Amino acid sequence: MHPRLRPILDSFQGKPEELIPILQRVQGAFGYLPAEVLADVSRFARVPESSVYGVATFYDQFRFTPIGRRHILVCRGTSCHVRGAADVLRAIEDHLGIKEGQTTPDLAYSLETAPCLGACARSPCMMVNRKVEAGVTPASVRALLRKANGHGAEPR
Amino acid sequence: MVRNLDELRRRARQQWDAMARSAAPRILVGTATCGRAVGALETLQAIEDHTRQEGIECTIVEVGCLGLCYAEPVVSIVRPPWPMICYGRITPEVARALVDRVVRDGDPASPWALGSVGEGRVEGIPSLFETPVFRGQVRRTLGNCGFLDPGQIDHYLAQEGYRGLERALHMAPDEVLDEVRRSGLRGKGGAGFPTWRKWKFARDAPGAPKYVICNASEGDPGVYHNKLLLESDPHRVLEGMLIAGYAVGAEEGYIYCPARSWLALRRLRAALRQMERCGLLGEKILGASFDFHIKIKEGAGSYVCGEETALIECLEGKRGMPRLRPPFPPVTGLWARSTVVNNVETLAAVALILHHGASWFADVGTENNRGTKVLCLSGNVERGGVIEVPLGTPLRHLVEAIGGGPPGGKRLKAVQCGGPGGGCLPPSCLDTPADHDSLLPLGASLGSGGVVVLDETVCLVDLAHNTAEFACRESCGQCVPCRLGTRQVLEISRDIVEGRGKPADLDLLVDLAEGIRLGSLCAHGQTALKPLLSALGHFRDEFEAHVREARCPAGVCSLESCPSRQSEPSWAT
């Protein structure tokens, strides 16, 4: 068993309904769900490995590949859409040289979209790691990306 | 014998009064998600640093959100003898100047003021609740939001918090149920099902344990007030949960909140710890024969999990796919036990009903739509934010009086009500009352409370395409008509916005949408194409222009064969 998996599993009882919280903790520790630990998760939670994959592929939160240090989510909600979210997404894609759903080769950035980030009155908005940025424009996101340059802004 | 929280509340009240009477100025900074998204934490930091450096004596409090999202970051200052004055758009630079002027120099800085709250007037500053954005609002559920520290149970207690629970515990569970029945409360999550009836099914269901689930999933694009409530006044929702548990005979509660709403989760965890300390969780709550425990479950990102049976599947550790109903959750829910699933706003309303009484709650609203509804106003609107109005308030009041209409003098084109399960209405429908029933015949709905204003720059075909993308992306995949049908709708709508549409496509879309509606198990498939259908119904001309003339009247879609797109427009150079 992976040495970092043991302490995670120790805080659970090994019941099938714990599968999602376990996967959340695993992803929190590893940044993604490494295939080599899922077999152990399956045995521990007494859930067939196929079901572990079934659950892990069902929810947006889970991923099977490492994620960039800065995870950008661009909102695709109605309010954001009518106020230029597509232009913002395109500006980020052009700036980082990746498309929606991709990660830069140096693992600095991952770029995804979300159905709604919940700051609709100040649209368009996006989320970088845990921080929502509202009222963004193509110019402001380019400035933000230049300024950030790989350093994560930790929320309070 | 049921104990009251008198002693705790008396101390909380004393502290609150001491703070209110104190001669030292108090600065309140709104730091909910909406504020943070436009720099409220930077503003807070600037105020903290500046007052320390300049030796300005004051108390700084982090509060939730007033709902004035358009004016965030919002800072309120209490400087006796003036009432509280709320200021808008306070960037760090403005914050320093504001503190100097108001706190140090005793100048109310009226140009930045949004309005005053409380007794007394300050010259040049209107009363906040008499400004256009508040006129016609009835702030009940949102009553505490933006005025108290959501991290302190004492603040909630000082505002008569947990009075509803105390009153409920003095009543028999059936009396509590009856109180909620007489209030006319209908579920705020979208379906508008009478809350008491859901509770009655659960109360009458045999077996134990029973469960109460607080649904904080909130996935509808354009809706975020449940998150705001949890971030700004979590105890109100938790109080409602306890009352629900008592009424239906449940001992265990779950809060299902998306992991991404981390601030709401943080507030909830802190609130639960405080409740435990005050004897509001666990065995024999307030001395009554009522035990209740609350656990938090973090959602992993699935829109369909907002549907109650999908949510239950998720809590059981499975893929969040809706169950076949009946049986409904109050009969067979979590682990096949009787389960009540209530939305955040509904539970907050329950706390208010038990505190103030059913007739107080029912004195606003219309015949079958009693009480208020919290709505999120966004899109092309001057004053977007979170508001609370009596059910039945005309859409026109929301969009024009409160919201101030589209910015920049643009023409209003449509209003999308009810999120992805709602619909797009033209300005001719603006006099429709916003309630659970009146919008349905027009092809829209109140849904969970999203009101997105659309001006003339919006192409409704393009918006319908965005809707189709959402419908397809969020289909859980269980029902074939929804899984495959939404994909087909998406591809047809993409053809139309990219200039490959054919006139026959419009009827095909209607046919497909009808098939998906009939062949789907949950509200997602049944309503996800309503925005598209209502746009097609009310704005058919715009669709026809795309498929017959390859023309986008709003100039949004890049139709390949569109002649007007072949030369660069003058403003682009």
Strand order in the sheet with A70-75: A109-114, A70-75, A126-128, A131-133
Closest-approach residue (CA) in chain A for B228: A118
**In sequence order, what are the residues at sequence separation of 6 or more whose Cβ sits closer than 8 angstroms to the Cβ of residue B414?**
B424, B425, B426, B427, B454, B458, B460, B535, B538, B539
Whether residue A119 and residue B379 make contact (CB cut-off 8 A), yes or no, is no
- First CA to last CA across chain A, in angstroms? 34
Q: Given pLDDT bands bounded at 50, 70 and 90, which one contains residue B20?
A: confident
Closest-approach residue (CA) in chain A for B417: A78
User: Quick one: average pLDDT of B56-71?
Assistant: 96
Same structural domain, B177 and B265: yes
**In sequence order, what are the residues at sequence separation of 6 or more whose Cβ sits closer than 8 angstroms to the Cβ of residue B354?**
B164, B165, B167, B168, B176, B179, B180, B243
CATH number of the domain to which B343 belongs: 3.40.50.11540
- Using alpha carbons, list the distances in angstroms from residue B9 to A46, B20, B116, B292, B419: 47, 16, 27, 21, 40
Q: What integer best gives the mean pLDDT of chain B? A: 94
In this prediction, residue B255 carries a pLDDT of 98
Is A85 near chain B, with CB under 8 Å?
no
In this prediction, residue A153 carries a pLDDT of 42
Rounded distance between C-alpha atoms, residue B454 and residue B467, angstroms: 14
The verdict on residue B145 lying in a domain is no
Structure tokens at A151: 């350093």
CATH number of the domain to which A119 belongs: 3.40.30.10
Asked if residue B568 has pLDDT above 90, the reply is no
Closest-approach residue (CA) in chain B for A124: B379
Closest-approach residue (CA) in chain B for A135: B38
Cβ contact B265:B217 at 8 Å: no
Same structural domain, A81 and A144: yes
Q: With CA atoms as reference, report the closest residue to B399 among B419, B422, B425, B423.
A: B425
Asked if residue A19 has pLDDT above 60, the reply is yes
Same structural domain, A48 and A83: no
Structure tokens at A124: 């368009």
Asked if residue B50 has pLDDT above 70, the reply is yes
The verdict on residue B154 lying in a domain is no
Rounded distance between C-alpha atoms, residue B98 and residue B111, angstroms: 10
Asked if residue B109 has pLDDT above 60, the reply is yes
Q: With CA atoms as reference, report the closest residue to B319 among A129, A104, A16.
A: A16
What letter does residue B401 receive in the DSSP assignment?
I
Structure tokens at B224: 């975020």
Cis peptide before A66 (omega within 30 of 0): no
In this prediction, residue B198 carries a pLDDT of 97
B/e letters for A12-31, b = 16+ CB within 10 Å, e = fewer, are eeeeebbbbbbbbbbbeebb
Express each pLDDT in A146-156 by its tens digit: 987 644 443 33
Rounded distance between C-alpha atoms, residue B547 and residue B495, angstroms: 9
B453 phi and psi angles, rounded to 5 deg: -90, 135
Same structural domain, B389 and B333: no
Same structural domain, B402 and B518: no
Is A77 near chain B, with CB under 8 Å?
yes
Closest-approach residue (CA) in chain A for B219: A116
Cβ contact A49:A38 at 8 Å: yes
Rounded distance between C-alpha atoms, residue B330 and residue B239, angstroms: 20
Parallel/antiparallel/unpaired status of strands B84-87 and B113-117? antiparallel
Q: What is the DSSP string of A9-70?
A: HHTS---GGGHHHHHHHHHHHHSS--HHHHHHHHHHHT--HHHHHHHHHHSTT--SS---SE
The verdict on residue A153 lying in a domain is no
Cβ contact B219:B448 at 8 Å: no
Same structural domain, A48 and A92: no
From B427, B454, B481, the end of a domain falls on B454
Express each pLDDT in B250-280 by its tens digit: 999 999 999 999 999 999 999 999 999 999 9
Asked if residue B563 has pLDDT above 60, the reply is no
How many whole angstroms from its chain centre is CA B72? Answer: 17
Same structural domain, B496 and B540: yes
Q: For a pLDDT cut of 70, what percent of chain B falls above it?
A: 97
A83: distance to nearest CA of chain B, Å?
A: 7
Q: How many domains does chain B have?
A: 4
Q: Which of B298, B313, B318, B413 to mutate: most A Cβ within 10 Å? A: B318
Q: How many CB atoms lie within 10 A of CB B504?
A: 9
Same structural domain, B122 and B201: no
Write down how long chain B is.
573
Same structural domain, B428 and B478: no
The verdict on residue A46 lying in a domain is yes
Whether residue B317 and residue A125 make contact (CB cut-off 8 A), yes or no, is no
Residues of B in contact with A118 (CB under 8 A): 33, 218, 223-224, 227, 261
Give 3-state DSSP helix, strand, coil % of chain A, rounded to 5.
45, 10, 40
Q: How many CB atoms lie within 10 A of CB B121?
A: 11
In this prediction, residue B521 carries a pLDDT of 93
Same structural domain, A84 and A143: yes
Whether residue A78 and residue B222 make contact (CB cut-off 8 A), yes or no, is yes
In this prediction, residue A150 carries a pLDDT of 47
The verdict on residue B157 lying in a domain is no
Asked if residue B124 has pLDDT above 80, the reply is yes
Express each pLDDT in A77-134 by its tens digit: 999 999 999 999 999 999 999 999 999 999 999 999 999 999 999 999 999 999 999 9
Rounded distance between C-alpha atoms, residue B282 and residue B292, angstroms: 5
Asked if residue B26 has pLDDT above 70, the reply is yes
- By residue range, what is the domain housing residue B230? 162-361
Whether residue B380 and residue A121 make contact (CB cut-off 8 A), yes or no, is no
Residues of B in contact with A134 (CB under 8 A): 34, 37-38
Q: Given pLDDT bands bounded at 50, 70 and 90, which one contains residue B8?
A: very high
Residues of B in contact with A130 (CB under 8 A): 262
Same structural domain, A75 and A110: yes
In this prediction, residue A148 carries a pLDDT of 73
Of A45, A59, A77, the CB nearest to B300: A59
Same structural domain, A54 and A105: no
Is A154 near chain B, with CB under 8 Å?
no
Q: Any bridge partners for residue B433, and if so which?
A: B394
User: Quick one: average pLDDT of B303-309?
Assistant: 95
What letter does residue B29 receive in the DSSP assignment?
E
CATH number of the domain to which B417 belongs: 3.10.20.600
From B314, B339, B361, the end of a domain falls on B361
Same structural domain, A28 and A75: no
A115: distance to nearest CA of chain B, Å?
A: 6
Residue bearing tokens 């006796």: B80
Rounded distance between C-alpha atoms, residue B127 and residue B116, angstroms: 5
Rounded distance between C-alpha atoms, residue B443 and residue B514, angstroms: 13
Same structural domain, A144 and A86: yes
Same structural domain, A31 and A91: no
How many whole angstroms from its chain centre is CA B408? Answer: 27
Q: Given pLDDT bands bounded at 50, 70 and 90, which one contains residue B419?
A: confident
Same structural domain, A94 and A131: yes
Same structural domain, B429 and B465: no
Residues of B in contact with A121 (CB under 8 A): 34, 69-70, 376-378, 384-386
B/e letters for B6-31, b = 16+ CB within 10 Å, e = fewer, are eebbeebbeebeeeeeeeebbbbbbb
pTM (2 d.p.): 0.95
Of B38, B219, B316, the CB nearest to A135: B38
B381: distance to nearest CA of chain A, Å?
A: 8
**In sequence order, what are the residues at sequence separation of 6 or more whose Cβ sits closer than 8 angstroms to the Cβ of residue B441?**
none
Of B69, B315, B320, the CB nearest to A58: B320
Express each pLDDT in B314-344 by its tens digit: 999 999 999 999 999 999 999 999 999 999 9
Rounded distance between C-alpha atoms, residue A76 and residue A89, angstroms: 9
| Cα B253–Cα B257–Cα B261 angle in degrees, nearest 5 | 150
In this prediction, residue B2 carries a pLDDT of 78
Q: What is the 3-class SS of B257-315, one letter each residue?
A: EECCCHHHHHHHHHHHHHHHHCCCCECCHHHCCCCEEEEEEEECCCHHHHCHHHHHHHH
- By residue range, what is the domain housing residue A83? 70-148
Whether residue A61 and residue B259 make contact (CB cut-off 8 A), yes or no, is yes
Asked if residue B570 has pLDDT above 60, the reply is no
Asked if residue B566 has pLDDT above 60, the reply is no
| Cα B9–Cα B10–Cα B16 angle in degrees, nearest 5 | 85
The dihedral sign for the CA sequence B20, B144, B395, B532: positive
Same structural domain, B448 and B470: no
Rounded distance between C-alpha atoms, residue B298 and residue A61, angstroms: 11
CATH number of the domain to which B31 belongs: 3.40.30.10
Express each pLDDT in A25-59 by its tens digit: 999 999 999 999 999 999 999 999 999 999 999 99
Residues of B in contact with A87 (CB under 8 A): none
Express each pLDDT in B153-191 by its tens digit: 999 999 999 999 999 999 999 999 999 999 999 999 988
Of B38, B300, B320, the CB nearest to A24: B300
What ipTM does this complex have? 0.94
A 125-144: CB under 8 A from B: 125, 127, 130-135
CATH number of the domain to which B467 belongs: 1.20.1440.230
